[in-house]
Structure 1
Amino acid sequence: MQIRKKMLGAAAIGVSAVLAVSACSPPQDGSSGDAESSVTWIVNQPGGGWNHNAPEGGSVYVIQMLHDILPVTGFWNPEGQWEWNTDLIANTPELIEGDQVSWEYQINPDANWSDGEPIDADDFVWQWKMNSGDGELCSDGCNSRGSTLESLIESVEGSEDGKTVTVTLKEDAQFPGWFTFGVDGLYPAHVAAAEGMDLDTPEGMRESSDFFNANPVTVSGGPYIYEGTPALDGRVVKVANEEYYGEAPGIQEIILEVNTEEGSWVPALTNGEVQGSSPATWSDDVITQLEGQENVDFGIASGGSWEHVDLNVQSDLLSDTALRQGIFTAIDTANIATRTYGEKFPEIEPRTNHVFSTTSEFHEDVLTPTGQGTGDAEAALELLEEAGYELNGDSLESDGEAVPALRLRYTAGHVAREIIAELIQADLAEIGITAEIETTDDLGGTLAEADYDLMIYGWSTTPDFYGSPHQYWHSESGSNFGGYENDEVDELVDAALNSSSPEESAEAANEAATLVAEDAYVLPIVDTPAYFFYDTSFIEGVSDNHAQSRRALWDQTEWAAVE
């Protein structure tokens, strides 16, 4: 990963704007628990739901809002190495020898939720059932966005008053990333039970999934706890959890402020209203403004997510493979990458694999052999003409009828995707297809409802790639939003998931990606560069982490107030 990081010192720009938040003063000292140690951090998009396992809640924004509220078993550090959460897990879990793959967690005896209830096996069982894909454990798929590890689990059992948890995979099942169970956070099963939901029934489990999606958790198993009622589209206030069983955080209060107006970020930073952000969007304008600020540290890197455009193959029109191939061939991904990110990040290059970036040891170029992403309108039209389409003036026709306009959607307020959408619109006009651009304020909901023809969005990635192909493309995955079905791909993504080594998993993943490229379901565009910034006169110890969705918030408990 290439990182450019710089300390900047120059005159502040002469722009003023005010966020609808109270101004913060620099903390007077860095003592843990100081009431004045408060940091306000920008989250650049709203969340869609509070259950990170569900499509509505499975975004980087929600995971950041839940961070250090829900207890996690472990995490990826910035170097892409796994670390156990030793506050929660007292042992170093290892695979147990036997006929089936299994491992054991020993939960810290002092690990409790903030209401005094123990964090125990019930919380692990809930996480398994939520994402198992088994209708006998949770009805209607539990509204899960799809989890590969949990679908391979045969049992999760507690012993020693629930403080020892044994996880066993199904017979003959394997998974190289077994240790990532619980990586995004465990939910308090006892809260759902107290609401009258019978978690031993599939109906009760589904009800609990919807409950946690609609409501923020009222207890905490981490170093912070919500103060007041957090809002997915507004403000989330976290304060130090006085009942936490680990070390207290250095910053007493962290306020996450949802703000989609990029033009207000740097003025708010200058005015002391916010202290930083690690946005999931890209903005040349914001970076330019940051270059003129005193007491600001910021960094730019090839990030941990990738942009792509998906087609809704459930529609009658886009069920035609030839039309999809023509559309993807007409789109110029190199031009998109350069025009969108190249000014501030000239190292940018198109992505040519759905699973692996070009820096990965497992990368294979599955896109170039198809001609997709080249922006070659002539080649696209040849493909379409062979399939019976005809360009009549400025309109592509089939059987004498113009191809209907396609709805091209992206998240409202996402500047980079706005540019990408306009470039795609221009590319498709070259082959006689009209793309009508629409935005959505609810990306997760729009995807879940497949309310689009083409959708531009991003997937976050971690070093644990084994389950990603299954999540993206398996015909029964809750994240296969466009309704893609290919029996051979299903077998390959199952193989990538159920593998004994990273090498074996990568081989199956690349074979699956090759087929998906040939079927023109998803067009990779670019590894999204990302940046973060913070005010060095307020806080110290901030670093970005592209190996997980929490980004610069990943070690927020280690931040310190500047004296």
Structure 2
Amino acid sequence: MGLRKGVFGAAAGALAVVLTLSACGASGSKGAGNGDEATKKLANKFTVDWNPQPRDKIKDGGTVTIPVTEIPSQENTMAVGTTTASAAIWNWYNPQLTFLTPEGKWSYNKDYLTDVTHTEKGGNTVVTYTLNPKAVWNDGTPMSWKSFELTWKSCNGSDSKYQTTGDCSNITSVKQGENNRQAVVTYDGPYAWWQSGFGAILNPHITNADVFNNAYQNKLQSDWGAGPYTVDSANFKTGRITFKRNPRWWGNKGKLDRVVYQQMEETAEINAFKNGEVDMATTATKDRLAQVQSMSDVTVHRSTSNAVGLLILNADRPQLRDVNVRKAILEGIDRTTLAKIQYNGLGYTGAVGGSLILLPFQNGYSDSVGNAGYKYSPDEANKLLDAAGWKKGADGIREKDGQKLTLQFPLSGDDPSTVAQGKAIISMEKQIGVSVNIKQIASADFIKTLTGHGWDAFMSGFSMSDPYGANYICYFYCSKSAGQAAAGNNSAAGTKALDTQMRALAKIPDPMKQTQAAMKLESDWYRQTWGELPTTNGPAVVTTKSGLANLAPVPFFGLAAYGSVPVENFGWQK
């Protein structure tokens, strides 16, 4: 499970990658034949299924154990090297300042904020955050405007030592307001997506880049957190993290006694669920679903997914520096076949992606990849490779200057559908004379491998935790010269000219007009670079023990789309 972190929207890098969409995949109640009718109906529609319940309908006490495929060493959710697992873990013991409904309507958490106002002054967007006088960090330090300032300084580019995923260079100042409990944030010009800002803030101890980068390495900073839960134990060797109720919390107490995150591979996850060791599992294929069919007291939850699968090509690798070679390799990929493998036996259609910034059910969506001229065409791919000077050898694999056209392609995890997709890609690329060497890696090594960039092709993915897609266009597509602003572009493809155009989009004050311009520019990026390819937009289906309610305590379960609820309201229904 995983998705885009709406941690700090002004930092257009508030996003986290996950293994593949198999971790957020689909399933059905029968898992065979023509598929499940309930899953079929999710295609191209907006549906959520997260068992929302009033707080007074939730039992007091109990434990929920949640499986995750990895627990990264970096547990500062704003730093480079984190994934959705670290973002979810962060949200359990740090301030949860804002919420979204499943449809994306924004609100603030009154336990931390008594007021948030937005105005335009002198052509600039100004947002004022007033903190709750009761709000205090676990070490006893009162929350103040300084945490907003420190968060801004970590990502405004003034100190390049910060290894951050964020880019908040569009903020010109963060100042104290009427008193120490009020922060006044001023943007450079209009900012259409101000609601995405400051969903989380840093503890006042995180005063410099060294602390920011290193204090959360293989460690959770319990004293620097705040909220209904705090850290009970954290063992990075066994991959087990436990949270308990926080005695310093001033709001409604957490309904659960404990929340546990346990790292395990995907096949182990389904077995652990069957054995009662964890309380939920992604039933992403008919095979996974079939394994839980005989279980009693379980519930299958099906939702429209805000997840996007992604195939990335590393434009820095010698054989991939030619844009036409990259385009050929991508045109050799039949995404419909990949989707059929992903959702085999489920009857689900409409699962091929066309954009990284909007989903098919959102207003303004268009198929940016298709509009750029992409099509699955081995014939066209072969012509492009011929023209680029890559000639087929006796073994059918292309060569140029004595080098074979071979792609090093790590695959993370052991889910059968992921393995099957990898084998399908080998077969597809062989048709155009490209050799693909797959190396299976452990899920725990996913982020290390991805950010190490020692590969030619990589399957990744993410889920969107907010609907402000145009806000993230530079994060996904800016070139390396943009620095931290382009933290989400692992392809190394892009141009400074496109960067300039993407930066200019942020000045468009009308959200819909900015979105329309962003969709066009996204298509232009593909047309000029072909550094990556959206693959699947499938449903989210998760099987839980019956009675587990409010399945959106952090926006990373995928069952409530953009929705998030107070973590203290997650638990077992009465």
Q: CA RMSD in A?
A: 2.8
Matched letter for residue 91 of structure 1? D
Structure 1 residue 312: Cα displacement: 0.7
Q: For residues 40-92 of structure 1, give each alpha carbon's deviation from its aligned partner in whole angstroms, at most 9, with x where no partner exists.
A: 122233324101112311x1111111123111321222222212112111013
Q: Which moved more, 1:227-236 or 1:64-73?
A: 227-236
What is the correspondence of 1:474-489 to structure 2 with a 5 Å cutoff? 474-475=478-479, 476=482, 477-489=486-498
Classify the secondary structure of the residue corresponding to 1:293.
coil
Q: Which moved more, 1:508-517 or 1:233-242?
A: 508-517
CA contact 1:44–1:260 (8 Å) conserved in 2: yes
Q: Which residue matches 1:41?
A: 66
Classify the secondary structure of the residue corresponding to 1:243.
coil
Classify the secondary structure of the residue corresponding to 1:112.
coil
Q: Which residue matches 2:44?
A: none
Q: Which residue matches 1:196?
A: none
Structure 1 residue 415: Cα displacement: 4.2
Structure 1 residue 472: Cα displacement: 0.9
Matched letter for residue 166 of structure 1? V
CA change 1:493–1:87 in 2 (3 A) is same
Q: Distance in 1 between matches of 2:29 and 2:530?
A: 44
CA change 1:217–1:552 in 2 (3 A) is farther
CA contact 1:33–1:249 (8 Å) conserved in 2: no
Q: Which residue matches 1:285?
A: 287
1:520 aligns with 2:530: yes
Q: Which residue matches 1:25?
A: none
Q: Which residue matches 2:76?
A: 51
Q: Which moved more, 1:327-336 or 1:459-468?
A: 459-468
CA change 1:345–1:209 in 2 (3 A) is farther
CA contact 1:324–1:521 (8 Å) conserved in 2: yes
What is the correspondence of 1:269-308 to structure 2 with a 5 Å cutoff? 269-277=273-281, 279=282, 282-308=284-310
Q: Which residue matches 2:406?
A: 405
1:387 aligns with 2:388: yes
CA change 1:540–1:164 in 2 (3 A) is same
Matched letter for residue 178 of structure 1? W
Q: Which residue matches 2:203?
A: 188
Structure 1 residue 286: Cα displacement: 2.1
Which residue of 535, 538, 553 corresponds with 2:545?
535
Q: Which residue matches 2:191?
A: 175
Structure 1 residue 466: Cα displacement: 2.5
Structure 1 residue 373: Cα displacement: 4.9
Q: Which residue matches 1:19?
A: none
1:558 aligns with 2:569: yes
CA contact 1:33–1:252 (8 Å) conserved in 2: no
Classify the secondary structure of the residue corresponding to 1:467.
helix
Q: Which residue matches 1:215?
A: 219
TM-score normalised by structure 2 residue count: 0.82
1:459 aligns with 2:477: no
CA change 1:287–1:111 in 2 (3 A) is same
Q: Distance in 1 between matches of 2:472 and 2:344?
A: 28
Matched letter for residue 473 of structure 1? Y
Give the share of equivalent positions with the same residue, in percent: 19
Structure 1 residue 322: Cα displacement: 1.2
Structure 1 residue 384: Cα displacement: 1.6
Structure with the larger RCO, 1 or 2 (CA within 8 Å, 6+ apart): 2
Q: Which residue matches 2:84?
A: 60
Which residue of 265, 268, 278 corresponds with 1:260?
265
Q: Which residue matches 2:36?
A: none
Q: Distance in 1 between matches of 2:318 and 2:460?
A: 22
What is the correspondence of 1:346-495 to structure 2 with a 5 Å cutoff? 346-369=348-371, 372-374=374-376, 376-399=377-400, 401-440=402-441, 441-461=444-464, 462-475=466-479, 476=482, 477-495=486-504
CA contact 2:409–2:437 (8 Å) conserved in 1: yes
Structure 1 residue 96: Cα displacement: 4.6
CA contact 2:163–2:209 (8 Å) conserved in 1: no
Q: Distance in 2 between matches of 1:273 and 1:208?
A: 35
CA contact 2:27–2:286 (8 Å) conserved in 1: no
Q: Distance in 1 between matches of 2:502 and 2:235?
A: 38
Matched letter for residue 104 of structure 2? G
* 5+ residue gaps, structure 1: 9-29, 193-198
* 5+ residue gaps, structure 2: 1-24, 31-55
What is the correspondence of 1:486-505 to structure 2 with a 5 Å cutoff? 486-505=495-514
CA change 1:6–1:252 in 2 (3 A) is farther
TM-score normalised by structure 1 residue count: 0.84
Matched letter for residue 308 of structure 1? L
Classify the secondary structure of the residue corresponding to 1:357.
coil
Q: Distance in 2 between matches of 1:496 and 1:439?
A: 40
Classify the secondary structure of the residue corresponding to 2:150.
helix
CA contact 2:341–2:417 (8 Å) conserved in 1: no
Matched letter for residue 75 of structure 2? W
Matched letter for residue 561 of structure 1? W
Q: Distance in 2 between matches of 1:252 and 1:270?
A: 23
CA contact 1:469–1:509 (8 Å) conserved in 2: yes
CA contact 1:32–1:248 (8 Å) conserved in 2: no
Q: Which residue matches 1:27?
A: none
Structure 1 residue 164: Cα displacement: 0.3
CA contact 2:397–2:405 (8 Å) conserved in 1: no
Which residue of 163, 166, 174 corresponds with 1:143?
163
CA change 1:188–1:155 in 2 (3 A) is same
Q: For residues 23-49 of structure 1, give each alpha carbon's deviation from its aligned partner in whole angstroms, at most 9, with x where no partner exists.
A: xxxxxxx99996x52221222333241
Q: Which residue matches 2:40?
A: none
Q: Distance in 1 between matches of 2:372 and 2:509?
A: 31
Q: Which moved more, 1:103-112 or 1:216-225?
A: 216-225
CA change 1:152–1:228 in 2 (3 A) is same
- Matched positions, count: 511
Q: Distance in 2 between matches of 1:499 and 1:419?
A: 44
Classify the secondary structure of the residue corresponding to 2:502.
helix
Q: Which residue matches 2:556?
A: 549
CA change 1:345–1:117 in 2 (3 A) is farther
